[in-house]
Amino acid sequence: MNLGALLAFVRPDLDWHALAPELTLLAVGTLVTVADIALDDKAKRMMPTLTGIGLLVTLVPILTLAVDGAERPMFGGAYVVDDFSLVLKALFILVGYVVVLMSVDYVREGDYYENEYYTLLLTSLLGMVMMASSRDLVSVFVALELLSIPAYMLAAWRKGGPRSNEAGLKYYLMGVFASAVMLYGMSLVFGVAGDTDFGTIAAALRGEGASPIVIVAILFVLIGFAFKVSAVPFHTWAPDTYEGAPTPVTAFLSVASKAAGFVALLGLVFVAFEGAADVVQPFFWVLAAVTMTVGNLIALRQTNIVRMLAYSGVAQGGFMLAPFAVAFEDDAWQLPGTDITTTPYFAIVVYAVIYAFMNLGAFSVVLAVSRRTRSGEISSYGGLFSYAPGMAVLMTLFLAALAGIPPASGFFAKFVVFWALAGAGTPAGWVLAVIVAVNAVIAFGYYARVLQQMWFEPVPEMVALGVDSGGDDELDFAEAADATAEQDEHGDAWLATETRQATMVRFTPGKIPMTGALAAALAITAIATLAFGVLPGLVSHFGEVATFHFGG
Amino acid sequence: MDATGFDAWTLTLAVFLPAVGALVMMAVPRARELELKMIALGASLVTLAVGVYLLFAFDYGNAGTLQFGVHKGWIDAINADYILGLDGLSLPLLILSMVIIPLCVIYSWEHIPEPGNAKAFLILMLILASGMNGTFVAQDLILFFVFFEVVLLPMYFMIGVWGGENRRYASLKFFLFTLFGSALMIVSFVALYFVATNDAGAALNTFDMSELAAAAGGDLARGTQAIIFAGLFMGFGIKVPMFPFHTWLPDAHTEAPTVGSVILAAILLKLGTYGFVRIALPFLPEGAAAWAPWIGLLAVIGIIYGALGCLAQTDMKRLIAFSSVAHMGFVMLGIATLTPIGINAAVFGMVAHGIITGMLFFLAGSVKERYHTLEISRLGGLLKSAPRMGWILAISAMASLGLPGLAGFWGEFPAILSAYSPGAGLSEETFRTYMVIAAVGTVFAAGYLLWLFQRSAFGEPKPEWEGHVIADVNRYEWAAWTPLIIAMVLFGWVPGLIFGVVDDVSIGIAESISTAVGGG
């Protein structure tokens, strides 16, 4: 390549309007970093505010793009801004906003590095926002790494606590392992198709049929994402990571990170692998059935609420995977090259939106309650209804939503899954629908354990310390540096259920110390959970308009 | 068909007024108990006032068609609409629900069970009311499902928080059983949406219940109908509850607080039987015909099993709970015959059982409050220590065993009668056998109820109660019970009050079934 060729490089046409959300996020992240360096310590208190405002500002270009409505393919179709991407981008930004609200006091009271925390959060969000527009193996991979790497660091944010380090390390190792498997699969796909563009891959795979190389290629890519969405048997990192990571980060991982995995899967399955339905559908049938069943059964045994929510998240992921098993059975399925919305696709988008708010809500309550109890054991929720009825009612709402009981939103999420499975009209679809139904019942078993504690049980006299509540009970970082596991009595780490050296302390019930930010997070999630349940049309609208564009 | 003006709002008011009351109560501090009770009573009485208006404005000449209709968009993506409507089948059950709730509020005035907290208790009661009223007037399957499920959590908490010793077990069992049924039920609903056709074989793709009923299964194969019916059967059958899914019921009733038991027996169980009559039978006539002999069989097993269960009980409340299994067996037998008489009897049986068993549970609660036990062997001499309560127990027990002249008779006797000649080509031999078994069941019913009455009311009060003052019926109890006692006698003497309203609907359902089965 001579100099002339280099000079002949033509800058690709950039649609600045289309890229405005990404650029805004980038600018806010930079601003937070620069402000931290430039301003004195006092100004650092502004970081979460700045981040929050920045996220809300990011919604503006998303809205203008949505009003405009045009599909804007860029970079030869590798990056597309369409209605689908806008819906998901808005979701990610809103989730990010709620996570910031959950983090404010947690991070400040824990005396963690504030601005780095928010910078990393914004970077991860940037990756997710990019994922929503990626229509090409390379852009998918770049977005995935961009969202994952900050998340590894966030998981290990309480670096004084061994649990958090374990969380970060496990997440990191499993994450890079998954990336490697996926990359290998992608290289095989590239070998078969000769291109990384979804549309070209689809055409190539249709011509190829289910040859061994195609099967291996597809399975490796899908398995890579199965790690991301913590599908069984690739879920093993999730409970430890969720338990060890700071609670707001756990909420972020369990909602946003998982949704990003599903966003990538939607593009890959519905477009790129459309020609290989024979491989994809049975794979997802088994994956979904195993994920929801195993996730539910293990969740039944948990005594720690975050671990329980982690396994419940695994099971919920199984419900969300189920529509993939009938991805191409729908009559409404349109030929590639056009904009698509099909019932399975619709179901997954709707489920992801509903799941985001109900799960964030549950984590917000966990955060709030732990400010009082400083424990993560389900038994510490005893008698919550008697001393904090409002919080108990909110938790009931979120758990009812997760369990799929109307009028909380989750029922509609489950319903659209049934809808997609039944709409396929195949025996496989019907059987999976019944499996989903049975699992929905099993799931209530563990949500009910929390309900029972909150409503039926007396206030416990002693609780096992353990939740990192933020607050004064956290160790200073200076101390934390040489803190050992024995010094856990200050509650610097979540104590894992199995290796707990539980420090039982006397518990006095009382008003839960609330903060404005946490209250706002609870309000947003509660309103969304209730509104989506009573008027599911609000959320199904987004599922309907989220048409997926590809093909340049 | 949609109503206009105020009429278009009546059903919406009937459904949501209690919920609005609950919302208002949430804003009132827990300590202001009297105001909370007033709001609860007010909300339930205003709802009842809407019910009274409905009773007067209802066009009885057209009881077979839906009235006060509302049809608004709700969830466009899945074609589920906000459709409400009231016909002769819904009306008696809706009114029953509207009457029971204020009575329960009045009864609770001074009887908030341990551990107290009138606010939460009454809020849950009002949410229950909204769910139950909604179920009876919803004319869209998804809307029906939502209301059907809304009642679960409040009842779960009612049993779990205010229940007896074994409340955790009982509440979870109640919840898991019903949830399991409704999970399969929703799969069937979705299946109906996708596979239900009209006679020409075109897919209906609707959740509108009146359209699905009009199609009457269309040209769906009998086998398909039977499979979808099985899902509905699980959903409704567990709720009824039918043998062998009844095991949650005695536990739930025994542990539930008095008012919880009353609502459970009087209304919640009817959601299941109502579902059979409203949804399962008309939508899937051939499925119903295929299942009817088995439903009939389970019904008569329930009758005998419930009766034997009653005879074995030593606890008054548990005995009444088992009697519910038996009584709902009669209701289901009536439904299984697929005849107008049978369905009429079933609806009458639902209302009568609601009134009578509700009354019996009230009595059990009051007895428990006075004696702190429900062990039948420790009771006795109620007629001496609290004669008025004793006589009320006598009337209720007589009504429950089906004595002519009281309401219970008109639920049982026509149900048995209808089994003599079942409709839709069902085997006469089979149903006549059921008829004989059910008739034997009435003898058992007389046995266990009279025995209960004899042991608890006759004789001298047991020595252990010497020195205790067993108070007679107090004014709150009078207020709560008088309407029920009047209804027992009234419907016993003038059964046409209910039969006349339901008749059009039952004839319509039975005809459409026999057409579908005969023509298919």
pLDDT tens digits, A484-526? 333 333 333 443 343 444 577 778 787 888 888 999 999 999 9
Which residues lie below 8 Å from residue B206, measured CB to CB, with a gap of 6+? Answer: B79, B193, B196, B212
Closest Cα in chain B, distance from residue A455 (Å): 6
- The pLDDT assigned to B1 comes to 61
Q: Answer yes or no: is A55 within a domain.
A: yes
- The pLDDT assigned to B520 comes to 45
Gap between the Cα atoms of A316 and B424, Å rounded: 45
Enumerate the residues of chain A whose CB falls inside 8 A of the CB of residue B150: 406-407
A338 pLDDT higher than 70: no
- Which helix (DSSP H) or strand (DSSP E) does residue B84 occupy? strand B80-86
Q: Which token pair is A520?
A: 């706002």
Which domain, by its residues, includes B168? 7-211+242-519
Which residues lie below 8 Å from residue A211, measured CB to CB, with a gap of 6+? Answer: none
- The pLDDT assigned to B467 comes to 75
Task: Answer whether A418 sits within 8 Å of B77, measured CB to CB.
Answer: no
Q: What is the mean pLDDT of each run of 10 residues along chain B (520 residues)?
A: 82 95 92 92 96 93 90 88 94 95 93 85 95 95 94 93 90 92 91 85 86 86 92 93 91 93 94 94 92 95 94 92 93 94 94 95 91 85 88 93 90 92 87 94 92 88 79 89 94 92 92 79
A141 pLDDT higher than 60: yes
Q: Answer yes or no: is B484 within a domain.
A: yes
Alpha helices per DSSP H over A257-403: 258-267, 277-299, 305-321, 343-373, 384-387, 389-403
How many CB atoms sit inside 10 A of residue B96's CB? 25
Q: For residue B149, give the nearest of A405, A419, A452 by CB distance.
A: A405
Q: Answer yes or no: is A382 within a domain.
A: yes
The residue that leads in pLDDT, B78 or A91, is A91
A477 pLDDT higher than 80: no
A135 pLDDT higher than 70: yes
- The pLDDT assigned to A340 comes to 63
Q: With CA atoms as reference, report the closest residue to B284 among B344, B356, B212, B351.
A: B212
Question: Stretch A170-190: mean pLDDT, rounded?
Answer: 93
| Chain A 416-445, residues with CB within 8 Å of chain B CB atoms | 416, 418-419, 422-423, 425, 430, 433-434, 437-438, 440-441, 444-445
- The pLDDT assigned to B470 comes to 80
Q: How confident is residue A328, by pLDDT bands cut at 50, 70 and 90?
A: confident
Angle at A83 between CA B193 and CA A202, to 5 degrees: 80
Q: How confident is residue A407, by pLDDT bands cut at 50, 70 and 90?
A: confident
A470 pLDDT higher than 80: no
Enumerate the residues of chain B whose CB falls inside 8 A of the CB of residue A433: 187, 190
Which residues lie below 8 Å from residue B382, measured CB to CB, with a gap of 6+? Answer: B367, B389, B390, B393, B456, B457, B461, B470
Task: Answer whether B74 sits within 8 Å of A541, measured CB to CB.
Answer: no
A229 and A262 Cβ atoms separated by less than 8 Å: yes
Q: Answer yes or no: is B45 within a domain.
A: yes
Which residues lie below 8 Å from residue B104, measured CB to CB, with a gap of 6+? Answer: B125, B259, B262, B263, B480
Q: Which of A107-111, A161-165, A539-543 is predicted with the least confidence, judged by mean pLDDT? A: A107-111
- The pLDDT assigned to B468 comes to 77
- The pLDDT assigned to B483 comes to 94
Number of domains forming the structure of chain B: 1
Number of domains forming the structure of chain A: 1
Angle at A348 between CA A347 and CA A354, to 5 degrees: 90
Q: Answer yes or no: is A2 within a domain.
A: no
- pLDDT tens column, A339-367: 566 788 889 999 999 999 999 999 999 99
- Name the closest residue on chain A to residue B81, using Cα atoms: A537
Q: How confident is residue A2, by pLDDT bands cut at 50, 70 and 90?
A: low
Task: Answer whether A412 sits within 8 Å of B175, measured CB to CB.
Answer: no
Q: Answer yes or no: is A475 within a domain.
A: no
Task: Answer whether B146 sits within 8 Å of A406, measured CB to CB.
Answer: yes
Gap between the Cα atoms of B519 and B292, Å rounded: 18
Gap between the Cα atoms of B472 and A201, Å rounded: 83
Cβ of residue B168 closer than 8 Å to a chain A Cβ: yes
Give strand pairing partners of A304. Answer: A377
Q: Answer yes or no: is B230 within a domain.
A: no
Which residues lie below 8 Å from residue B332, measured CB to CB, with a gap of 6+? Answer: B240, B242, B273, B276, B295, B296, B298, B299, B302, B346
3 state SS of B375: strand
Closest Cα in chain B, distance from residue A497 (Å): 24
- The pLDDT assigned to A474 comes to 37
Q: Which of A53-57, A211-215, B300-304 is predicted with the least confidence, judged by mean pLDDT? A: A211-215
- The pLDDT assigned to B386 comes to 87
- The pLDDT assigned to B335 comes to 94
Question: Stretch A312-328: mean pLDDT, rounded?
Answer: 92
Angstrom distances, CA of residue A96 to CA of A92, A124, A264, B128: 6, 9, 18, 37
The residue that leads in pLDDT, A46 or A405, is A405
Q: Answer yes or no: is B227 within a domain.
A: no
Gap between the Cα atoms of A518 and A103, Å rounded: 8
Which DSSP state fits A326? G
Amino acid symbol at A451: L
Distance of alpha carbon B187 from the chain centroid: 23
Closest Cα in chain A, distance from residue B174 (Å): 12
A144 and A183 Cβ atoms separated by less than 8 Å: no
Q: For residue B75, give the nearest of A346, A456, A536 by CB distance.
A: A536
Cβ of residue B20 closer than 8 Å to a chain A Cβ: no
- The pLDDT assigned to A491 comes to 39
Closest Cα in chain B, distance from residue A97 (Å): 28
A124 pLDDT higher than 60: yes
Q: Answer yes or no: is B225 within a domain.
A: no
Enumerate the residues of chain B whose CB falls inside 8 A of the CB of residue A456: 160-161, 167-168, 171
Task: Answer whether B153 sits within 8 Å of A396, measured CB to CB.
Answer: yes
Question: Stretch A398-421: mean pLDDT, rounded?
Answer: 92
| Chain A 144-173, residues with CB within 8 Å of chain B CB atoms | none
Which domain, by its residues, includes A428? 15-461+513-545
| Chain A 336-365, residues with CB within 8 Å of chain B CB atoms | 346
Cβ of residue B407 closer than 8 Å to a chain A Cβ: no
Closest Cα in chain B, distance from residue A298 (Å): 18
ipTM of the complex: 0.92
Task: Answer whether A433 sits within 8 Å of B187, measured CB to CB.
Answer: yes
Cβ of residue B56 closer than 8 Å to a chain A Cβ: no
Query: Of B190, B194, B206, B228, which to mutate for an interface test with A (greatest number of A Cβ within 10 Å)?
Result: B190
Gap between the Cα atoms of B26 and B22, Å rounded: 6
- The pLDDT assigned to A481 comes to 36
Q: Which of A109-113, A224-228, A245-249, A475-479 is predicted with the least confidence, judged by mean pLDDT? A: A475-479
Query: Of B182, B186, B189, which to mutate for an interface test with A (greatest number of A Cβ within 10 Å)?
Result: B186
Which DSSP state fits A338? S
What percent of chain A lies above the pLDDT cut of 70?
89
Gap between the Cα atoms of B100 and B483, Å rounded: 9
- The pLDDT assigned to A483 comes to 38
- The pLDDT assigned to A552 comes to 44
- The pLDDT assigned to B202 comes to 80
Closest Cα in chain A, distance from residue B189 (Å): 10
How many CB atoms sit inside 10 A of residue A88's CB? 25
